[in-house]
Amino acid sequence: MFKAFLIKYAEIGIKGKNRHIFEEALCRQMRRALEQVDGEFSVTREMGRIYVRTEGAFDYDGAVEALKCVFGIAGICPVVILEDTGLEDLAASVVDYMKQVYGEQEKTFKVCARRAKKTYPLSSMELNCELGERILDACPNMKVDVHHPDVYLNVEIRQNIYLYSETIPGPGGMPVGTNGQAMLLLSGGIDSPVAGYMIAKRGVKIDAVYFHAPPYTSERAKQKVVDLAKLVARYSGPIRLHVVNFTDIQLYIYEKCPHEELTIIMRRYMMKLAEMFAKEDGCLGLITGESIGQVASQTMHSLAVTNEVCTMPVFRPLIGFDKQEIVDISEKIGTYETSVLPYEDCCTIFVAKHPVTKPNLNIIRRSETNLAEKIDEMMETAFRTAEVIEID
Amino acid sequence: MEIYLDNSATTRAYPEVAELVTKLMLEDYGNPSALHQKGVDAEQYLRRARETMAKILKVQEKEIYFTSGGTESNNWALVGTALAMQRMGKHIITTQIEHPAVQAPVSFLEEMGFTVTRLGVSREGMIDLQELEEAITPETILVSVMFVNNEIGSVEPVAEIGERIKRKNPNTVFHVDAIQAFSKLPIYPKKMNIDLLSVSGHKFHGPKGTGMLYIREKTRIRPVILGGGQQNGMRSGTENVPGAAGMALAAEMVYGKLKESRAHMYRLREHLIHGLQAMENVTVHGADGEQAAPHIVNASFLGVRSEVLLHTLENEGIYVSAGSACSSHKRAGSPTLTAIGASKAEMESSVRFSFSENTTPEEIDTVLEVLNRVIPMLRRFTRK
């Protein structure tokens, strides 16, 4: 019965003169999401509204699922569009709508008519009364409740007439591409895909970097990261994934620095490399999945020492989240199952039994002087030889 | 260059087998149950396949049943026997070193109320015959012992086991998982007192998804796959004619040159073990001589994690298998290595090399040379 969706957006509505930029971006992202769905869709902006219209048969559930992945959408309303052929026809259609959508269910309702077309012969109040009465007459299972109705039936009189009562919640946020670009440090774990999701939700385009350590990490671990990037890309749009061979650097640190400092020093070099890729891709910041105190390398002291090598802002959207809260989001966005596949990632292979939890920046810097001989060259090589995987 | 030493996982099919399978898919593709000529032709292939398998095992044709592989054969043997014999007793004997395709159905039966005895093994992976004999009671309906262990290659004394079982309780059914043994040694179920024998086609250059269960005449076993009543109602489902024919052809080819290929692989085994023993801190697991299968060598390279060595060798074009999937999160050791009493360090560093008749001494030389080069390097970097 539904041939169209009315898309409600949240924050874009409060934008000023540049609102059209956000609306355009939202339309673009919606079109991209709907490309994968069976059916012909057109996305249009009309008088401060965005509509998705379809021609002929289409995959209704698929379309809803696709739209639920588009940041910027606050709600998706399946809508019936009628031509204005007089009050009698409208009333018949309204009754028909209620019967089809709610059947025999016991519901309370309220009609909420609005007229953008002020030439319509009845006022909004009159329409409410008239249509409400018709519904009451035709549907014995329906009662009126103007304060807290179960069903809020919207009747909008414009060039055409729009009927809708259901709102499917969207993901909220802002359309991707309206807020610059950032580089996500993607491991294979639970946190980093969620971090990427959360920053992308604010309209940021995402690129990613993964540190691969063959033969210590397997091809399957890399495939897992590619799969995770694909899952994030459903929301964030295309991701350019840089796969860095990090083995030599890791082994060099292993040989030259105290073992309990390995992870923290390694992370400093990862941040530096990530920043090199970020600059190359035109990113304005880095994104990590860190959360205070989760592991030794994420204590406040460790974060400060890691952060010290970065010149770009580092965004840590999960910083105040508990693990369970992060898991909940990862389950919601569908990355959890992939994240928990048991392949070793490069952060854990040489991890010390008792890594430092309160690293001192001066001591870490002194340890790093042991790397002076070769590290710059190795970083350059790692940067140059990285593989790029474009994820759609 | 590619050196494939993971033949216990699976083998490359013989080109002749691939050709026959193709022919049976494209030309003689009939359903063997069909009444028309196409069906009759297909049935002929199936009959010949059964004939071939029966001849190799020196058993009757009607005792051969085709299955979808080793796992199905093992499941059927265990669950089917337990179902048929549960009124005569509820005791099952098996070993601690069985393949998961035996372990899992046995645990399933245990959940259903059967009692299970799991025999331990020696450092060489051999069960104790005395212990086995003592475990058999009038309640014992089934003994399941693998012929060749898939991880360390130890060969259990199946003939003696069969004899002792039948002496102690003639009603006890004897199942042998011969998935790693068939094609590597002569197997005669009648002589060895075997009632049920599982075989898998892709372990000896046959197609994947093919297998066989030998069921000695008059053995009490129920079908577990029910349907159209094919194979005397014992294993329903349209027979995989290309698969069965392909497996039989592979078996015929392999057994045609068994003596030579066995000798060849034993020489390779000696060669590799000799080279490994010259290296420092390497333990070779399993038995010696005839108590070891010709095609499997399992060794621990102390201080080097299996998976890391596997990927390092992979970079050199050498394919082996790592005993257990190790990760920092999950470290369940292999049941076989645990049963033979290997240390944690040995389990974490164990790698399996498995040959085929096509493996060459030169390839073993290359492997040894690579190992001697990479092991010292890998040992420098370990988790502290």
pLDDT tens track for B274-325: 999 999 999 999 998 889 999 999 999 999 989 899 999 999 999 999 864 4
* φ, ψ (nearest 5 deg) of residue B320: -130, -175
Percentage with pLDDT > 70 across chain B: 97
At A93, the amino acid letter reads S
Interchain proximity A348–B312, CB inside 8 Å: no
Given a cut of 50, is residue B176 above it in pLDDT?
yes
Interchain proximity B307–A344, CB inside 8 Å: yes
Strands (DSSP E) contained in chain B are 3-4, 64-67, 91-95, 115-119, 140-146, 173-177, 196-200, 211-215, 282-285, 296-301, 318-319, 321-322, 350-354
Would you kindly state where each structural domain of chain B is located, as residue ranges?
Answer: 3-10+258-380, 15-256
Cα–Cα–Cα angle for B145, B158, B336, rounded to 5 degrees: 40
* φ, ψ (nearest 5 deg) of residue B239: -65, 140
Quote the tokens at residue B380. Answer: 């420098």
The answer to whether A252 faces chain B, any CB pair under 8 Å, is: no
Given a cut of 70, is residue B332 above it in pLDDT?
no
Indicate which residues of B carry an active-site annotation. Answer: 326
The answer to whether A251 faces chain B, any CB pair under 8 Å, is: yes
Architecture (CATH level 2) of domain B3-10+258-380: Alpha-Beta Complex (3.90)
Quote the tokens at residue A33. Answer: 């999401």
pLDDT tens track for B81-129: 999 999 999 999 999 999 999 999 999 999 999 999 999 999 999 999 9
Strand B282-285 with B211-215, pairing: unpaired
**Which residue of A216, A251, A347, A350 is the best one to mutate when testing the B interface, meaning the one whose CB has the most B CBs within 10 A?**
A216
The answer to whether B36 faces chain A, any CB pair under 8 Å, is: no
The answer to whether B376 faces chain A, any CB pair under 8 Å, is: no
Which of A37-51, B168-182, B214-228 comes out lowest in average pLDDT? A37-51
pTM equals 0.82
Which letter does DSSP use for residue B14 in this model?
Answer: P
Give yes or no for a contact between A26 and A20, defined as CB atoms under 8 angstroms apart: no
At A90, the amino acid letter reads L
CB contacts, 8 Å: B384 with chain A: 259, 350, 352-353
Residues of chain A with pLDDT under 50: none
pLDDT tens track for A249-294: 999 999 999 989 999 999 999 999 999 999 999 999 999 999 999 8
Residue B333: CB partners within 8 Å, gap ≥ 6? B323, B324, B342, B344, B347, B348
Nearest residue of chain B to residue A214 (CA atoms) = B311
Count CB atoms within 10 A of the CB of residue A198: 22
Interchain proximity A344–B327, CB inside 8 Å: yes
Interchain proximity A255–B380, CB inside 8 Å: yes
Of the candidates B374, B330, B373, B364, the one whose C-alpha atom is nearest the C-alpha of residue B348 is B330
Count CB atoms within 10 A of the CB of residue A369: 11
Give yes or no for a contact between B143 and B98, defined as CB atoms under 8 angstroms apart: no
Quote the tokens at residue B112. Answer: 């259903």
Helices (DSSP H) in B9-145: which residue ranges? 15-26, 37-57, 70-75, 81-85, 100-111, 129-135
Give yes or no for a contact between A77 and A64, defined as CB atoms under 8 angstroms apart: no
Interchain proximity B311–A349, CB inside 8 Å: no
Residue B91: CB partners within 8 Å, gap ≥ 6? B114, B115, B116, B117, B137, B139, B140, B141
Structural domains in chain A plus CATH codes: 4-169 (3.30.2130.30), 181-391 (3.40.50.620)
Interchain proximity B311–A215, CB inside 8 Å: yes
Helix, coil or strand: residue B175: strand
Q: Least CB-CB distance to A259: which of B315, B329, B384? A: B384
Which letter does DSSP use for residue B78 in this model?
Answer: I
The answer to whether B381 faces chain A, any CB pair under 8 Å, is: yes
CB contacts, 8 Å: A340 with chain B: none
ipTM: 0.72
Q: How many Å apart are CA B157 and CA B133, to the nearest integer?
A: 13
CB contacts, 8 Å: A351 with chain B: 328, 383
Give yes or no for a contact between B9 and B99, defined as CB atoms under 8 angstroms apart: no
Q: What pLDDT shows up at residue A347?
A: 62
Strand A142-144 with A107-115, pairing: parallel
The answer to whether B328 faces chain A, any CB pair under 8 Å, is: yes
Q: What pLDDT shows up at residue A188?
A: 87
Burial class (CB in 10 A: 0-12, 13-18, 19+), A63: buried
In the block, tokens 């669950």 appear at: B79
CATH class of the B15-256 domain in this structure:
alpha beta
At A106, the amino acid letter reads E
The answer to whether A218 faces chain B, any CB pair under 8 Å, is: yes
* φ, ψ (nearest 5 deg) of residue A51: -120, 145
Helix, coil or strand: residue B121: strand
List Cα–Cα distances, B154 to A250, B71, B74, B127, in angstroms. 40, 20, 19, 10
pLDDT tens track for B117-126: 999 999 999 9
Of the candidates A266, A264, A272, the one whose C-alpha atom is nearest the C-alpha of residue A249 is A266
**B327: pLDDT confidence band, cut at 50, 70 and 90?**
very low
Which of A338-352, B7-21, B250-264 comes out lowest in average pLDDT? A338-352
Q: How many Å apart are CA B58 and CA B180, to the nearest integer?
A: 19
Interchain proximity A215–B380, CB inside 8 Å: no
